[in-house]
Amino acid sequence: MKPIISKDIIRGHTTTIVLNILSQGDSYGYEIAKMIKKLSHESYELNEATLYTVFRRLEKNDDIESYWGDESQGGRRKYYKITQKGIETLNNNVKEWNFAKHVIDDLILGRIN
């Protein structure tokens, strides 16, 4: 059975994950959820309720904007796009993650001489 990453480990990074995906192009909820599953090699799924909570938070912070698509078949989709502020937030979050990752590695794997 394939290992699944704990939601507790991912919590706090969902906004950065969504911003990363949107930095690569506009998208809609279902497609973003599929990309998260694909990027994690199927080790993580972001449920719909959490994803839409992230969208609301990012829109409120002006990190993303939404618009309605003009699909010719099926229901209309709400698309999301990253803003310039969102790109800055993403870059800052990635810097913070890289710093934290090294500190956590040292704390968990380090040895006191």
Mean pLDDT over 93-109 rounds to 94
Residue 15 lies in a domain: yes
Dihedral angle over CA of 44, 61, 63, 95, nearest 10? -70
Residue 99 lies in a domain: yes
Looking at residue 73, the DSSP 8-state letter turns out to be: S
Residue 98 lies in a domain: yes
Among residues 11, 12, 55, which one has the least CA distance to residue 33? 55
Residue 100 lies in a domain: yes
Residue 2 lies in a domain: no
Strands (E) across 6-92 are located at 27-28, 64-68, 78-82
Please give the residue that has the higher pLDDT: either 112 or 22: 22
How do residues 7-17 score in pLDDT, each as one tens digit?
A: 888 888 999 99
Mean pLDDT over 101-110 rounds to 93
Number of domains in the chain: 1
Is the whole-model pTM more than 0.85?
yes
How do residues 22-69 score in pLDDT, each as one tens digit?
A: 999 999 999 999 999 999 999 999 988 999 999 999 999 999 999 999
Q: What CA–CA distance (Å, rounded) separates 31 from 25?
A: 11
Residue 25 lies in a domain: yes
Range of the domain at 57: 7-109
Dihedral angle over CA of 13, 32, 37, 58, nearest 10? 10
Q: Is the pLDDT of residue 87 over 90?
A: yes
Q: In CATH, what number is assigned to the domain containing residue 81?
A: 1.10.10.10
Please give the residue that has the higher pLDDT: either 71 or 47: 47
Residue 1 lies in a domain: no
